[in-house]
Amino acid sequence: MKKEILIGFGVGLIAAVFGLVFAIQIFGKSDDWSNVVASAIANGTLTKLMSIGALLNLGAFFLFLKKNRDNRAKGVLIATILVFVITMIIKFMN
């Protein structure tokens, strides 16, 4: 059971990172990722990009629910909550 939750947690974190990369590619105004991230930090839009990136977790969550992998879906939910907490910390620290 714990192994299934950890697998879901890993999938949730990977999906959030891939979603962030996709958001940077779509909404970024430069081909250099470091410039886009630095610009997002300066403009205060990094948290918005992180939130958009976390939307991929929605697909992973419902996919695991459809396949009756409830513990993996719990792991994705935990990863999403972690991304939320990190996003709020970043938002209120700036």
10-31 in b/e form (b: 16+ CB < 10 A) is ebbbebbeebbeebbeeebeee
Q: What pLDDT score does 79 carry? A: 96
Q: How far apart are CA 50 and CA 58, in angstroms?
A: 14
Q: What pLDDT score does 70 carry? A: 94
Q: How far apart are CA 57 and CA 62, in angstroms?
A: 9
Instruction: Encode the chain (94 residues) as per-residue pLDDT tens digits.
Output: 899 999 999 999 999 999 998 888 888 777 777 888 888 888 888 888 899 989 999 999 999 999 999 999 999 999 999 999 999 998 898 7
Q: How far apart are CA 85 and CA 67, in angstroms?
A: 28
Instruction: Look up residue 1 and give its DSSP letter.
Output: -
